[in-house]
Amino acid sequence: MKKILLAVSLLALFGCDSSETNEVAKDKNTVQITQETFQGDWPFNVNTVELQCYKGGAFIEDVSTNEVYGLTGLANTIGTNGKKSSNNINGAAIWKDNPNIEGTKVSIGPIISEALKLCDE
């Protein structure tokens, strides 16, 4: 009986979810960037996004709509940033067309690199 009580107590203790803990975890693997502060060609049709890294996948979140987009194959396979489902960036209206080369998009390579750095922190 004592073992069962101990097991239940441990599950309850470790199973509890604190919003403060979630905020700390969120802050560690996210960073907000804007068109004004970004160095290079801004690749999105919105002014502000939040970079996110989850389990090695790079994501952005449109802060105005809370829509999440996977930027890499791994991100699209994972399909979530841990809290909500995500969309594939390919074909999404948020990704800007490249005005210099018809049929292409502005490179998101620098965005992906910055998002993946968050997984290392």
Q: What does the pLDDT look like over 24-44, one tens digit per residue? A: 334 568 999 999 999 999 999
Question: Domain limits at 116?
Answer: 28-120
- Which pLDDT score, from 0 to 100, does residue 87 have? 93
Q: Is residue 2 over pLDDT 80?
A: no
User: Tokens representing 34?
Assistant: 């804007």
**Mean pLDDT, all residues of the chain:** 79
The answer to whether residue 89 sits within a structural domain is: yes
The pLDDT of residue 80: 60
Asked if residue 7 is part of any domain, the answer here is: no
d(CA 116, CA 113): 5
**Predicted pLDDT at 28:** 62
How high is the pLDDT of residue 85? Answer: 83
In a domain, 15, yes or no: no
Domain-located, residue 21: no
Containing 67, the helix (H) or strand (E) segment is strand 67-70
Helices (H), 1-121: 2-15, 19-28, 73-78, 109-120
Per the CB < 8 A criterion, the answer to whether 74 and 61 are in contact is: no
Residue 69 lies in a domain: yes
Q: What is the DSSP string of 81-103?
A: SSSSB-EESTT-TTBPBPSSSTT
Residue 109 domain-assigned (yes or no): yes
Tokens of 79: 């399909």
CB 68 within 8 A of CB 115: no
Is 14 or 55 the better-scoring residue by pLDDT? Answer: 55
- Inside any domain, residue 14: no
- Whole-model pTM above 0.75? no
Residue 10 has what pLDDT? 34
Residue 8 has pLDDT above 60, yes or no: no
Q: Using CA atoms in the order 50, 63, 110, 59, what is the torsion angle rounded to 10 degrees?
A: 70
The pLDDT assigned to 65 comes to: 95
Number of structural domains, the chain?
1
List the beta bridge partners of residue 64.
none
Task: Tell me the two tokens of residue 6.
Answer: 């101990």
**pLDDT score of 29:** 83
